Amino acid sequence: MIQKDVDLQPFNTMTIAARAKYFCAATTREELREALAFAREQQLPILPLGGGSNIVLTGDFPGLALHVGLQGLDFEPQSDGVRMRAAAGENWHQLVMRSVEMGHGGLENLALIPGNIGAAPIQNIGAYGVELKDTFEELTAMEVATGRLVTFTAEDCRFAYRDSVFKNTEKDRYIICEVVLKLSASWQPQVAYPALQQHFAQASQEVDALTPADVARAVIGIRNSKLPNPVEIPNAGSFFKNPVVDASLYSRLKEQNPQLVAFAAGEHWKLAAGWLIDQAGWRGFQKDGVGVHDRQALVLVNPGHRCGSQVVALAQDIALDIQQKFGVTLEPEPRFYP
């Protein structure tokens, strides 16, 4: 059912108050197809919504906000692992925990990422050295222009670091309906990230003996210790992407800042944006109800439930400061609407 003039505050984890001209919560593919037909007739832009944990509403949305609530989860055992078929509206973390409880490995490093499975391919979600693409098999999406169903293989999705075809050539052209993942029986724990290494070293746990549940527990514990729960402190996760810079800029920065946190990425270097923001003195900053989280400077917070323009103004101040202090350009990770 299409509703008019709906408040989107409950549908974004930044809790920004903004209104959608039209809103529809689609729970079946038929409802989704009808909503898309309505938007076509009315020539409305579409804002697909999952958990709203990677968007910033900069004002009222003059089109159709479409909550994709398709449900369904199916595990298909195979000789070399298990295939998981999940509808777009399934909650990501619950899906991870279901797989872990069943003893399947592959998703445990991605525990506690907010949002729904339908958005996971958009930026190829990743954490602690694991990305969606590592287990991804295919997805089914509905073409916005026609309502036709299309299958995308991993190759079609052109997954990259926090990136996919859905942020580039196919941006705004599809609504993801279902995702199929393949969890391999020959699972190995991925615990090379320093926080995980430290955790297991302190707990005197042998890496070879770890189960997917052990890794999921560790990831959940680490995340809870430094990242704000959006239900308590409104936020949209990492506000900026980690910038990837060339070797000459990296060398200059490393010389000037021996503590610089950076990781080789082919011929380039990935800088920890959170370290740069922290170093520039922004961690814990608060002004007029918006601020920077005190345990992870990459996360902007909105405890005052302020409007998108105030969040964006803070982000711009930070980006300008980082440009001036380090000569590094920061780009936002969440998508801004409208």
Give contact residues for ligand NAP (rule: CB under 6 A).
Answer: 126-128, 192-195, 226-227, 237-238, 242, 261, 263, 272, 274, 296, 298, 333
Q: Which is nearer to ligand NAP, 23 or 326 (CB)?
A: 326
Minimum separation from the CB atom of position 46 to ligand NAP (A): 23
With CB under 5 to 8 Å by kind, the binding choice for 296 among ligand NAP, ligand FAD, none is ligand NAP
Applying CB under 6 A, the residues found at the interface with ligand FAD are 13, 47-55, 68, 88, 113-116, 118-120, 122-123, 125-127, 175-176, 227, 230, 235-237, 335
Output 225-230 pairs: Cβ under 8 A, ≥24 positions apart: 225/295, 226/295, 226/296, 227/293, 227/295, 227/296, 227/299, 228/293, 228/295, 228/296, 228/299, 228/301, 230/13, 230/53, 230/114
Spatial separation of the C-alpha atoms in residues 73 and 180, rounded to whole Å: 10
Of the residues 33, 40, 158, 162, only one is catalytic, namely 162
Residue 162 annotated to the active site: yes
Residue 164 annotated to the active site: no
- Is the CB of residue 271 less than 8 Å from the CB of residue 243? yes
Minimum separation from the CB atom of position 122 to ligand FAD (A): 4
Of the residues 29, 238, 283, 306, only one is catalytic, namely 238
Minimum separation from the CB atom of position 133 to ligand FAD (A): 11
Measured CA angle at 159 (ends 165, 92), to 5 deg: 100
Minimum separation from the CB atom of position 77 to ligand FAD (A): 27
Which among 96, 9, 90, 18 has a CA at the least distance from the CA of 61?
18
Residue 295 annotated to the active site: no
Q: Which is nearer to ligand NAP, 81 or 274 (CB)?
A: 274
Cα–Cα distances in angstroms (integers) from residue 298 to residues 90, 111, 243, 278, 292, in the given order: 27, 19, 12, 8, 7
Active site residues per annotation: 162, 238, 333
